[in-house]
């Protein structure tokens, strides 16, 4: 059993670091202002937005025990705090965890 876990860790590490290495090697040839780069950037943000929406609307695990209204309240308050703090991600992340915990426990 433990040899299988070590093998899985080695294979996933190889895949992760190989792709990162190839990204570093090929990054010199990429123009950040090109249309294809902007397209990939838009796709990445769209996937991230879809995953966040899925976590809020169809949560899994412990988050599914909270009320959907509370999740939307936390989302809106985190977005407002994000904009107020000049796009700082630390404060909304910490505040959203605190607000969700408070709303679910009371």
The pLDDT of residue 19: 87
Tens-of-pLDDT digits for all 106 residues of the chain? 567 888 899 999 999 999 889 888 887 877 888 898 899 889 999 999 999 899 999 999 888 889 999 999 999 999 999 999 998 989 999 999 999 999 988 8
pLDDT of residue 1: 59
The closest of 54, 103, 59 to 77, measured between CA atoms, is 103
**Would you kindly state where each structural domain of the chain is located, as residue ranges?**
66-106
Q: What is the distance between the alpha carbons of residues 96 and 81, in angstroms, rounded to a whole number?
A: 10
- Answer whether 103's CB lies under 8 Å from 73's CB: yes
What pLDDT does 33 receive?
87
């Amino acid at each position: 059993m433990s040899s299988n876990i070590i093998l899985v860790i080695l294979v996933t590490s190889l895949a992760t670091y190989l792709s990162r290495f190839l990204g570093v090697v090929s990054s010199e040839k990429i123009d950040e202002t090109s249309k294809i780069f902007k397209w990939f950037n838009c796709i990445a943000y769209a996937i991230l937005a879809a995953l966040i929406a899925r976590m809020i609307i169809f949560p899994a695990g412990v988050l599914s025990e909270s009320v959907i209204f509370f999740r939307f309240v936390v989302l809106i308050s985190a977005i407002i705090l994000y904009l107020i703090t000049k796009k700082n991600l630390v404060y909304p992340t910490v505040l959203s965890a605190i607000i969700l915990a408070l709303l679910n426990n009371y």
